[in-house]
Structures are given as C-alpha cells and as structure tokens.
Amino acid sequence: MPRATQGMHMDMKAMPAGASPANNNDLPSESGEELTRIGEMAKTFGVTLRTLRFYEDKGLLQPRRDGSMRLYTRKDRARLKLILLGRKVGFSLREVKQMMDLYDPTGSNSKQLRLTLDKSEKQLARLNKQKAALDDAIGELTRGMAAVRQLLAERSPHVAAAS
Amino acid sequence: MPRATQGMHMDMKAMPAGASPANNNDLPSESGEELTRIGEMAKTFGVTLRTLRFYEDKGLLQPRRDGSMRLYTRKDRARLKLILLGRKVGFSLREVKQMMDLYDPTGSNSKQLRLTLDKSEKQLARLNKQKAALDDAIGELTRGMAAVRQLLAERSPHVAAAS
DNA sequence: TTGCTCCTCACGTCACGTGAGGTGGC
DNA sequence: TTGCTCCTCACGTCACGTGAGGTGGC
C-alpha cells in the first residue's frame, strides 16, 4: 500500500541532467546544492541501500528525484545523521519520526525540545535497565559455562595430565 | 504449514479423564506424573500462553495432550527452564533448540556440552560487545540531553530566577 | 555486449502480540 | 445461562535482508 503523499512536492520541471561538469560523486544542481546518490549515502553513513529506502518508505527521508533516481540534499544528510543517532540510543523509528516531525525552522521548537527531552529521560531509564539485564545475563552465562566445563571435565577421559 | 511430526509419539490409548481426585492444579496421571496445564505453566514461568504455544510450534516443547488440552510434564518444565535461560543470555530459539536437540539421556553428552561451551563463548563475546554499545549509547544520549537542555534554556524565557 | 548503479515489488526473518471464533466442563 | 480456561487459525509488529526482474548511461 503506497503511503499518503502528504507534502511531497514533486518537481514539475524536469531536471536538466547531463549538465554536470564531470563524472564526480557530487552532482551539483543548478541551485548549487550538492546532491548525493543513494550509493554514496550508504557508503558515507555505513548503511545499506535497503535501509535508506526503508526510511523513506516510513516517511523519515524525502530525497529529491531525478527520474527514478534518488538524490539526497544536505538536509537529507542532516536528517539521516539524526535518525542514526536516534537508532543508536535505542529509539524506534516511530519515535524518531515523531520528534523530527515537530521541527519547525521558523519557531523556537521548544515543544520539540521538550518532547525530545522527555523521551530521552525515559529512554535513558530503559537503557540502564537493559544494562542491568545485560550484566545479569553475562553473570548467568559465565556461571553456566563454568558448570559445563565442570561436566566436561568429569565426563571426558583425563587427557594429558601434567606430565 | 504444519511441522514435520518427527518423533511425535501420540498416546494411542485414550487417557481416562475425570479420575483426578480433586479440582487441583496438579493433575496426577495414572503414572503418578504431575501434569501442568498451560495456564499454570505460564503463571509459574512468567510467560504468555502464546509463548508456550510458539515454543511448541518451533519444536522446543512437546507437551502431552488430553484431547486438545496441553499437559506439561516435569521434563517439559525442565526444558522450558532451559529455554528461558537460553533466551535470557541472548541465544536465539534456533540455537537453543540446536543445543537441546543434542541431549541424549543415554550418553555422556560431551558433544552437546562442547557445542554449548563453544556457543557460549561466542555469545559472551557478543554480550560484551553489546555492553560496550550500550555504554556508548548511554553516553551519547546523556550528551544529547545536555545539549537539548541548553537549547531550551536559551530559547525559553527566564522563569523564576533566584528571587 | 559487458559492467555498474540504480529502480520497484514482494516475500522472508525473529519472537512473539493480538484478536476472531469456537469448545468443554463446572 | 454465565464464567473460566482451553483451542486453532491467521494477520500484525519491528527493522530491515534478500532475491527477482528490469532500466539507463558510460
């Protein structure tokens, strides 16, 4: 099912392709914007093409198009950086989108900042819980390994004792 | 798609239901086994009914049946305990199954034990990596929160300064 | 023509959650 | 009849992975 194309301002004038000075990775548009293709984006940020398309499908990125080819602007790169930061600290894509959607370049963004702070406090608590669970798991696993080693020592023939 | 019913030894003689002494939670079978129903199992181990059915579907549990009702034996309870331990330390269900499937009550199980030890060492390494990532994430989130607080302090009117 | 990069479906993965619709015995 | 516990589908979730099949320009 295709997403509702809210706010998608498809450029109606076709972009004059082929006016680029060289076969460079950066494709400067007529407006001077450095446009990045998806392969470059993926390499730069250490993600797969699928990930970038997935984020777009979820409404987190809206790169320009040249025909069917995606072209990412400086803003797209900034957004992706934020998305990956959010993912790194454990936010879901839905949460990341919720916070980013509140951004308003004309306002003070205090609402966005307060939501972000609130979510961050809760997320920090979750991370600390996860850390406790991880330590717990490491302890259990270590104990289990000792028990298994013990069983192995009992069951297997005593090979190469101190000669 | 139904699983291959390998080794499923369905009791061909119908179990005489109604011979239980009371409406107790434990349903002693004619063989003296304490049989537990799924609701009891779930409560005891802190999992959902769905989880128990899911584990069965994946071949990790094979409770008896009384008609369509699942009845868990002492062995099933022991297996579940192991499954949950495995999950806790981060093994996938597939890995848990792989290790449990190697169990042979008639042998020394040294092959099972060695596989378990090998997998455990790798898992321990993964857990330690996760811990490092978690600490990293906590650091990033904390730094981010400080930055957001800074922005909020700059952008919002100074309310209630030291009177 | 080959090679590279891009594209759009669309099903698969993992560990379940969440109804829907129905049964059985007190 | 109501209430409780059990059952079997079967679709949904999350963040992508992984082909399949096709295009476009050097």
pLDDT at B76 over 90: yes
Strand A27-28 vs strand A34-37: parallel, antiparallel, or unpaired?
antiparallel
Is A145 strand, coil or helix? helix
Q: pLDDT tens, A113-126?
A: 999 999 999 999 99
Contacts of A99 in chain B (CB under 8 A): none
Q: Which residue has the higher pLDDT, A19 or A91?
A: A91
% of chain A at pLDDT higher than 90: 74
A interface residues, B as partner, C-beta within 8 Å: 85, 88-90, 108-110, 113-114, 116-117, 120-121, 123-124, 127-128, 130-131, 134-138, 140-142, 144-145, 148-149, 151-152, 155-156
What does the block give as tokens for B21?
């002494």
Total length of chain A = 163
Q: Strand D: which positions are within 7 A of a protein CB?
A: 5-8, 10, 14-18, 24-26
Q: pLDDT tens, A26-49?
A: 555 556 679 999 999 999 999 999
Question: What are the residues whose beta carbons fall under 8 Å from the beta carbon of B30, sequence distance 6 or more?
Answer: B15, B16, B19
Q: How far is CA B151 from CA A59, A79, B145, B161, in A?
A: 26, 18, 10, 17
The closest nt to B40, taking CA to C1', is D5
Measured between CA atoms, the residue of chain A closest to residue B142 is A124
Amino acid whose CA is nearest the C1' of D7: B68
- Mean pLDDT for A12-26 is 38
Q: Which residue has the higher pLDDT, B27 or B4?
A: B27
Residue A134 is given by DSSP the state: H
Measured between CA atoms, the residue of chain B closest to residue A122 is B141
- Sign (positive/negative) of CA torsion A139, A143, A149, A152? negative
Any bridge partners for residue A35, and if so which?
A27
Q: Which residue has the higher pLDDT, A156 or A9?
A: A156
Mean pLDDT of chain B: 83
Q: How many CB pairs under 8 A join A and B?
A: 98
Q: How many helices (H) and strands (E) does chain B have?
A: 5, 4
The closest nt to B83, taking CA to C1', is C15
Q: How far is CA A55 from CA A65, B131, B133, in A?
A: 16, 27, 22
Contacts of B135 in chain A (CB under 8 A): 131
CB-nearest partner of A141 from B120, B145, B155: B120
Query: For residue B33, what pLDDT is reported?
Result: 79
**Distance separating alpha carbons of residues B113 and B103, to the nearest angstrom:** 9
**Distance separating alpha carbons of residues B73 and B134, to the nearest angstrom:** 39
Q: Count Cβ atoms within 10 A of the Cβ of residue B71 and give its class: 0-12 exposed, 13-18 middle, 19 or more buried.
A: buried
Helix residue spans in A107-159 (DSSP H): 110-155
- Mean pLDDT for A126-136 is 97
- Sign (positive/negative) of CA torsion A37, A41, A42, A43? positive
Query: For residue B163, what pLDDT is reported?
Result: 45
pTM of structure: 0.82
Residue A106 is given by DSSP the state: T
